[in-house]
Amino acid sequence: MAHEIYHDPSNVTNPEHAEHHIVSPLQYCMVFGTLLVGTAITVIAAYIDLGWLNPVIALAIACIKAVIVILFFMHVKYQSKLIKMTVGAGFFTFIVLITMTLSDYISRAWGMW
Amino acid sequence: MDNVIATHPHTHETAVPAEHEHVVLPQHRHHFETEEQQREAGSFGMWLFLLTEIMFFGGMFFAYLLYRNWYYPAFTVASNQLNVPEGAANTAILITSGFFMALGVWAAEVRKKGLLVVMLILTTVFGVAFLGVKADEYHEKYEKHHIPGSSFSTAMFTNPAAYGLKEEPLAPDMAEHTQIFFFLYFAMTGMHALHMIIGIVILFWLTWRAHRGEFSAGYVAPIENFGLYWHFVDIVWLFLFPLLYLINRHPLK
Amino acid sequence: MSTSVPTLHTIVSLPDQSTATLPKKHYINNEHGLLSWLLTGDHKRIAMLYLISITFFFFIGGAFAGLIRLELLTPQSDLVAADTYNKFFTMHGIIMIFLFLVPSVPATLGNFLIPIMLGAKDLAFPKINLLSWYLYLIGGTLTLAALVLGGVDTGWTFTTPLSTHYLNTHVLTAATAIFIAGFSSIFTGLNFIVTIHRMRAPGMTWFRMPLFVWSNYAASILMVLGTPVLAIAIVLVALERLIGIGVFDPAKGGDPLLFQHLFWFYSHPAVYIMILPGMGVISEVISTFSRKRVFGYTAVAFSSVAIALFGFFVWAHHMFIMGVSNYSALVFSLLTMLVAVPSAIKIFNWAFTLQKGSITFETPMLYAFGFMGLFTIGGLTGVFLGSLGMDIHLTETYFIVAHFHFVMVGGMLMAFLAGIHFWWPKMTGRMYPESLSKLAAVVTFIGFNLTFLPQFILGYLGMPRRYAAYPPEYQVLNVLSTAGATVLGVGYMLPLLYLGWSLKYGAIAGNNPWQATGLEWQIQSPPLTENFIETPIVDYEAYDYEWLEKKQREEVTTVG
């Protein structure tokens, strides 16, 4: 066996040779601003009667905020596929919990109590 | 049979050494081959822990989903008892805290010790401010007898006119269900606050270590990974705020 | 090995070990003193600490099983009052599930072997590994505290509103114990996932890993994603008891079924957490003692992950009669049929591994054969129970009890024993007495069948579970079952005795007494603290028995 440096094709230490990207303060400022604006919109929209759209808008804005915090504040945009898949797996399992449990409640006495 | 396996001498190089700067930090743990491996493993481990937190809060989110749908009138009037200015301010405070934490991570990455310490302190200050506002809100609930348990009173919901409220009175059994709303309010924000308290304690420890220069020589993993935790706690609040405070704030029909 | 037969040669007895010696330095004598064990980061030492702890709790749980069977000798509730009997089966369930089965293979064999199998020096987070053990001990101590203070009688399932409103026993203590033990499980799983993804040796691709690692990986995913939901369910029960908020109280508008949804969302994947690592052991044992690579490696690997994935979608089959809607029950019943498929795939693949293999009957293999038969029966009866119509009649009867004991005891516990016997030489450097161990395996098998086969019949005839008293016509079968339990108890005591004996008096094992493939068999027994002198490079497939056979032939021919 050669004793020079072994080139490991399935290099687990840095599989995607991801350069360690440093997110800039400017990007952080833009995210910060967006989050504050999103909060303002959520509050304002809550005081306008939009029927069933109200909770939808509020949750949609919350989801967008969560996504940009995850991608930028938590650096996931610049991380390996493994980390991205891990985040996805977490939310997937959460969705399974919600939807499969809902499958029971939605088919009996939904909102009729 | 002992020399069966091919080996290579234990070195710090892996695939192509020229691409990475190999820093052997004092915090390098020897069961890892390289610094990158240790850092990636730490990050990955923290994310897995955050997954457990998603599932933990998930149970309470489902309970909220269920009971909000079953007892919508009760949840509406109970939610209107929460103070939107305080809630919105807290949201802004926590977002700002997260912003400073992100800047702190940047400061550690570019090795600016002073800036890192300042950012960690600001993160802590805003975190404590959040808890202060929360404490004020909880106190208000205590005074109005809206803490679930033996002292809970539905008087404000069965007879709102007597308290100067413009809402319709609820039937007594629906009014009882406001207790479930407040239980979920205290359980979810309480669990969130507990996570914040733990985070603040860790922040004190990290700030002290940062002040001693432990994180301005290339070893950023604890700051990075704590940042992940702190941002996650922030995200939980970003969902709690609209769900708990803004159920039905438009002028009542 | 003194023959030079050109064809595949069969090992009919263990290789000559008379010249094997214990290595001078290994992980046990590397450091001395109690603190070097209690504050260790070495995954192998932590594994041994776990082994001692779970054995301790296993025998306590077993004692409760003995008490249950003793009470059920007679139709009347004459040994103990019904309330006390409830405490027996509750403590038996809690201890056996949370303090024995869930950590059994992962925390002992997994901790010990996974880094070695991957070519790593340790797990990713050694300190968290140690924390995991301490959390386990705290959970165990709190369980014992609940026991000593008077016990819990809710059943291990803590079903609401019984557990929240109608009992005055030490539910909170037991719930806290399980909450803490759950974190032990989460941290173990977290450690495994990071290690398997990020600490494999050069050349060790995913599809060159031993199947034992795949199984533990799948179980670890379940541990990390499922256990927190149990945690929140327990917290809500505790809050309900402490403050009475009504989240599970119908009188206040709550739904007791919500608890069950949250509880079973974990507890169904929990059964896969318990069985998957055992299946990993069986893959290793069957291939070694058939001298053959596992048939359909990829299928077995993917089936582990499939079991983990599907396992998240079927939990309400524990709730068919509890008030879930018919439509929901239909959906969960259909999905339950699906989840049986990957398990069946494994059984087929093991069977095909055996075919045309050079099979020998060492003790681990005896346990593995027991596993294959008993797990198949247990699994098939699970399919019966997954079918909605049958479940309505069979649920909450002894049929269920028999079903899960077949998969958990006939399956998982046998796999655990197979693994302990298989890797005992590696972990301790000693062999156990083979004839005694074979006897114990046979005794266990006989005792198990005598205990639990009658329970299928009892359940089918309608005897309910969790009852201290029963109609007299069920007595004969109950007596048979208790007799079997006595035999089973003997079968489990024997390994404790001879394995302990072997630590001092057993034959020296040498590196590879079973002539098995796998990185763990290439290093000394017991291993060095750092496992490998140099990081291995892996350029061969798993279970490469042809390569091993070729190597031995070459070795022999060069001597002459």
**What is the domain partition of chain B in residue ranges?**
35-245
| Overall average pLDDT of the B69-84 stretch | 92
Give yes or no: residues A60 and A101 share one domain. Answer: no
Residue A6 has pLDDT above 90, yes or no: no
**B9-42 pLDDT tens trace:** 433 333 333 334 455 677 778 888 888 889 999 9
pLDDT (0 to 100) of residue A50: 86
Give me the residues of chain C with pLDDT under 50, please. Answer: 1-12, 557-560
Contact call for residues C374 and C411 (beta carbons, < 8 A): yes
Give yes or no: residues A70 and A28 share one domain. Answer: yes
Q: What residues have CB less than 8 Å from C148, skipping those under 6 apart? A: none
Chain A contacts in chain B segment 10-39 (CB below 8 A) = 11, 13-17, 19-20, 33-34, 36-37
C127 close to B (CB below 8 A): no
pLDDT (0 to 100) of residue A19: 61
Chains A & C: contacts with CB separation below 8 Å: 51
Of C226, C252, C524, nearest to B176 by CB-CB distance is: C252
Residue A41 lies in a domain: yes
Domain that holds residue A66: 22-74
**B122-145 pLDDT tens trace:** 999 999 999 999 999 999 999 998
Mean pLDDT computed over every residue of chain B: 87
pLDDT (0 to 100) of residue B248: 86
Give yes or no: residues A47 and A86 share one domain. Answer: no
* Cβ-based contacts of B71 with chain A (< 8 Å): 113
What topology does CATH give the domain C35-559? Cytochrome C Oxidase; Chain A (1.20.210)
pLDDT (0 to 100) of residue A16: 56
Residue A15 lies in a domain: no
| Overall average pLDDT of the A84-95 stretch | 96
Residue A14 lies in a domain: no
User: Buried (b) or exposed (e) across A28-59, using 16+ Cβ within 10 A?
Assistant: beebbebbbebbeebbebbeeeeeeebbebbe
| Overall average pLDDT of the A90-95 stretch | 96
Residue A6 lies in a domain: no
Architecture of domain B35-245: Up-down Bundle (1.20)
pLDDT (0 to 100) of residue B149: 81
Please tell me which residue of chain A has the smallest CA distance to C259: A101
B101 to chain A, minimum CA–CA distance in Å? 9
> DSSP of chain B, one letter per residue?
-TT-SEEE---S--S-GGGS-----TT--TTSSSHHHHHHHHHHHHHHHHHHHHHHHHHHHHHHHHHHHHTHHHHHHHHTTS-HHHHHHHHHHHHHHHHHHHHHHHHHHTT-HHHHHHHHHHHHHHHHHHHHHHHHHHHHHHHTT-SSSTT---HHHH-GGGGT--SPPPPHHHHHTHHHHHHHHHHHHHHHHHHHHHHHHHHHHHHHHHHTTTTSSS--HHHHHHHHHHHHHHHHHHHHHHHHH-SS-SPP-
Give yes or no: residues A92 and A68 share one domain. Answer: no
pLDDT (0 to 100) of residue C15: 62
pLDDT (0 to 100) of residue C545: 81
pLDDT (0 to 100) of residue C22: 87
Chain B contacts in chain A segment 3-22 (CB below 8 A) = 3, 5-8, 11-14, 17, 20, 22
Chains B & C: contacts with CB separation below 8 Å: 138
Residue B118 has pLDDT above 80, yes or no: yes
Please tell me which residue of chain B has the smallest CA distance to C524: B2
Neighbour count for residue C210 (Cβ, 10 Å): 25
Name the neighbours of A, counting chains with at least 3 Cβ pairs within 8 A: B, C
Of B31, B49, B55, nearest to C126 by CB-CB distance is: B31
pLDDT (0 to 100) of residue B17: 37
Please tell me which residue of chain B has the smallest CA distance to C189: B48
* Cβ-based contacts of C511 with chain B (< 8 Å): 1-2
The ipTM value here is 0.91
Residue B86 has pLDDT above 50, yes or no: yes
pTM of the model: 0.92
Residue A101 lies in a domain: yes
Give yes or no: residues A63 and A89 share one domain. Answer: no
Hey, are the CB atoms on A6 and C202 less than 8 Å from each other?
yes
pLDDT (0 to 100) of residue C13: 52
Give yes or no: residues A26 and A53 share one domain. Answer: yes
Residue A50 lies in a domain: yes
Give yes or no: residues A54 and A93 share one domain. Answer: no
Residue A3 has pLDDT above 50, yes or no: no
Residue A7 has pLDDT above 70, yes or no: no
Residue A95 lies in a domain: yes
**A16-55 pLDDT tens trace:** 555 678 888 999 999 999 999 999 999 999 998 888 889 9
3 state SS of C200: coil
Count how many domains chain A has. Answer: 2
Q: How far apart are CA A12 and CA C152, in angstroms?
A: 48
pLDDT (0 to 100) of residue C544: 83
pLDDT range class, residue B63, cuts 50, 70, 90: very high
C556 close to B (CB below 8 A): no
Give yes or no: residues A43 and A69 share one domain. Answer: yes
